Amino acid sequence: MGAGKIARRGFLVGAAALGGGIAFGTYLYRRTPENPLRATLPSGSTVLTPYVMISAEGITLITPRADVGQGAASIQAHLLAEELDVDPAKVQLDPGPASPVYYNGKVAAEGMPLAAWDSRWLAQTGRSASDVAGKLIGLHLTGGSTTVPDTYERLRAAGASARETLKAAAAGEMGVAVDQLRTEDGQVIGPDGSTRAYSDLIEALRDTPVVQDVPLRAPEQWVRLGRKHQRTDIVPKSTGTFRYGVDLTLPNMIHATVVTNPVRGGGLRRMDTRAAEAMRGVEAVVAITDGAAVLADNDWRAMEAARAIEVEWDGGGPDTDALWQTHADAMTDDNRDSRFADDGNVETAPGAPVTAEYRVPFLHHAPLEPANATVLYQPERTEVWTATQAPRFVAQAVARITGQDAEVVTVHALPAGGSFGHRLEDEWVRQAAEIAVQRPGRPIRLTWSREQDMTHGFLRPMALARGHGTVQDKRVRSLDLSIAAQSVAESQLGRAGMPSFGPDVAIVAAAWDAPYAIPDRRVTGYRVRAMVPVSSWRSVGASHNGFFHECFLDELIHAAGADPVEERLRLLHDDPSRKVLETVADMANWAGPAGARGVAFVYSFGVPVAQICEVRDTDGGIVIDKLWIAAEVGRVLDPVNIEAQLSGGALFGLGHAISSEITLTDGSTDQTNFHDYESLRIWQTPKVEVRVLESGGPIRGAGEPGLPPAAPALANAIFAATGTRLREMPFAKTLRFA
């Protein structure tokens, strides 16, 4: 895996320029970053593109966006393959090294107050600035549902450039004109039917200049994209042969686990490791930041020994109960973080008033694969194997610990057994590095126990919202929403040693920019001063604001005596948004006779999504029978996987809304494993029906936007079934679920 393999043998073909259409910007921005594969290639080889490698053994496609289960590797391979004319199932995939070449030009826009439905000049300029910023700082990062939008053109362009260069090389060898050649399944085919495998063209490529600016094939010509195809990881993941970080085995490897203070930086009063050190297979117990690491000959012995360590921690922190007051107190002018939406005058709006308060708790990402990393430290070079969404940050963090240059820290990015934002963090990698410098020359594979993982989360912020609005003449007249939460950007960038500036859009995301033409409408974000480390959790701010906004709007619509779908349709000023709401109402036959239903609409990550949920109130509790989902993504590249992503996001949202919460006592997490941090189980899962619309507008990713409408659709359905308004998550605190 990783750059090591590329370094030994290889030849890279394709476009020197990444993507196209870079028309403005600074000198630094215009300069293409150095191809990271060039530095490590054997002499005599030529490197032309960061995405396609051809060697005598075959073809390797570089897929730099992290695969955390969402299918990123497969879709990147298909984008390249569509133009390169190779079968993604027959080539090698490699995430490539950490490098600024693989910068993400789209993700910074998520931090800007730009409404996705806004196509005016100012918003477009802002989005272009995101690309400049991403490239300037070499933001090699996966997140914000940007993998497809960010790589859609770039990878097809790389594939096309590589294909045309291969044809040019073959033309020279075969003595025919390039336009007489075609390509198929990794081969160039001549006019007489003779073939040259791509991997047989290495010599000819040496003297062939790279063909640039190749026009891309029109979607009507596609043979893979947009059609049902198999994800590249499906067979190994169905046969137990897919390898994760926890499975990595290296010669002479030490298995490690850690015991650290549940309050980071809290300090240590007393620790007795004698019993642990005497246990079978234990090599040593060593000190690391905030605690200790056990080094042993297998994971279980390490974890058993860690349990045998007697420890009293120092330090402490807040209780969740007290934090609700802190959030309520934060709703003052002093703490006002943003007011991006302020139409009309909510203070003087006429009509009958409605008010409500909503709460969502802290949540943990808790992917099923526990946090893990393997680090091999040597004085001249360090290697890291870990699943990460931000490999350059990992290299820099490890370099700070080893005292080396980040250039000599090689990160082999592994696929993750889930993330939901967790693999943007890297605490476990730093811990493995701290151990590794104490054992030069020996690979350290650190695996967190589930208990360590559950009690050391980087949390989705808890958040508090207050809604005030008025209704008049069977219509919603005004809506004023105030939201108080910690800033994820401040907390997360702070951990990476970087400052954050200005308001945090996440605090109000998917609320301020909800495309409703309510005459008097205001959304205000209040920043709760950082106390608890918080993080980007699937759909980030939209994960709570979808609930706040859509439940409060539903309360207003009911108070007005209007129909929840009709009134939303009347208020939506964005055509694609109205279309998805109409579609979902059609799918569910909203107008017809039905059980208890709730609807919600949320526009997040550039994707308008509408959902309708149907529930039954039974003697055993609430049963969720059905969930309908409609979304608009511009264009669908993998119809099978996009359905799984939208459905998976929505069900993830439902499960957490029903049963999950992280609570803190004196700063420590109370939950320790999946028995007290439950999420959706199969018997709670409704039937799900998904319809994805393709207007041909900007292409979007679907990993996150399926989540935000699910909880409010459920809460609104439960209101229809029971008359109870659920204003606090987890819902199981208020009502019984079957």
Partner 1 sequence: MRLTVNSRQHDLDVEDEMPLLWVLRDVLGIHGPKYGCGIGQCGACTVHLDGVAVRSCQIAAADAVGAAITTIEGLGTPEAPHPVQTAWIVEQVAQCGYCQSGQIMQAASLLAEVPNPTDAEIDDAMSGNLCRCATYPRIRAAIRRASQSEDS
Tell which residue, 533, 391, 510, has the closest CA to residue 461. Answer: 533
Q: Report the b/e string of 618-630 with b at 16+ CB within 10 A.
A: eeeebbbebbbbb
* Tokens representing residue 548 in the block: 């706040």
* Residue from 681, 695, 733, 736 binding partner 1 (CB under 8 A): 681
Cβ proximity to ligand FES, 369 vs 520, nearer residue? 369
- Cβ–Cβ < 8 Å for 278, 248: no
541 binds partner 1 (CB under 8 A): no
Stretch that binds partner 1, among 216-224, 233-241, 331-339, 569-577 (CB under 8 A): 233-241
Stretch that binds partner 1, among 14-22, 193-201, 206-214, 226-234 (CB under 8 A): 226-234
Cβ proximity to partner 1, 339 vs 450, nearer residue? 450
- Taking residues 421 to 460 in sequence order and writing x for each that binds partner 1 by CB under 8 A, - otherwise, the string is --------------------------x-xx----------
User: Tokens 């990783």 appear where?
Assistant: 2
The DSSP code sequence of 2-65 is HHHHHHHS--B-S-SS-SS------HHHHSPPPPTTTTTSPTT--B--SSEEEETTEEEEE--S
Cα angle, residue 568 at apex, residues 565 and 574 outer, rounded to 5°: 125
- Taking residues 294 to 313 in sequence order and writing x for each that binds partner 1 by CB under 8 A, - otherwise, the string is ----xxx--x----------
- Taking residues 549 to 578 in sequence order and writing x for each that binds partner 1 by CB under 8 A, - otherwise, the string is ------------------------------
- CA-CA distance, 678 to 481, in Å (whole number)? 30
240 binds partner 1 (CB under 8 A): yes
How many chain residues touch partner 1 (CB under 8 A)? 61
Contacts of partner 1 in 648-667 (CB under 8 A): 648, 651-652, 655
Cβ proximity to partner 1, 652 vs 719, nearer residue? 652
* Tokens representing residue 311 in the block: 């420890």
**Which DSSP helix (H) or strand (E) runs through 390?**
none
Cβ proximity to ligand FES, 120 vs 675, nearer residue? 675
- CA-CA distance, 285 to 308, in Å (whole number)? 11
- Taking residues 327 to 356 in sequence order and writing x for each that binds partner 1 by CB under 8 A, - otherwise, the string is ------------------------------
69 binds ligand FES (CB under 6 A): yes
* Tokens representing residue 172 in the block: 């020279």
- Taking residues 409 to 448 in sequence order and writing x for each that binds ligand FES by CB under 6 A, - otherwise, the string is ---------x------------------------------
- Cβ–Cβ < 8 Å for 542, 708: yes
- H-only helix segments in 179-282: 202-205, 234-238, 274-277
180 binds partner 1 (CB under 8 A): no
Cβ proximity to partner 1, 42 vs 236, nearer residue? 236
Stretch that binds partner 1, among 207-215, 412-420, 505-513, 539-547 (CB under 8 A): 412-420
Cβ proximity to partner 1, 234 vs 569, nearer residue? 234
Cβ proximity to ligand FES, 368 vs 594, nearer residue? 368
User: Tokens 């490791």 appear where?
Assistant: 273
Tell which residue, 628, 595, 597, has the closest CA to residue 610. Answer: 628
DSSP strand pairing (254-260 vs 291-296): antiparallel
Supply the minimum distance, in Å, between the C-beta of residue 688 and partner 1.
5
- Taking residues 346 to 385 in sequence order and writing x for each that binds ligand FES by CB under 6 A, - otherwise, the string is ----------------------x-----------------
Chain position whose Cβ is nearest to ligand FES: 368
* Tokens representing residue 561 in the block: 């005596």
Tell which residue, 477, 679, 511, has the closest CA to residue 600. Answer: 511
251, with CB counted inside 10 A (0-12, 13-18, 19+), is exposed
**Region of 313 on the Ramachandran plot (φ > 0 left; ψ -120 to 50 alpha; else beta):** beta
* Residue from 647, 659, 669, 716 binding partner 1 (CB under 8 A): 647
Cα angle, residue 326 at apex, residues 322 and 328 outer, rounded to 5°: 115
Cβ proximity to ligand FES, 143 vs 351, nearer residue? 143
By CB under 6 A, name the binding residues for ligand FES: 69, 368, 418
By CB under 8 A, name the binding residues for partner 1: 68-71, 230-231, 233-244, 246-247, 249, 255, 280, 298-300, 303, 366-370, 415-420, 447, 449-450, 640-641, 644-645, 647-648, 651-652, 655, 673-675, 679-683, 685, 687-688
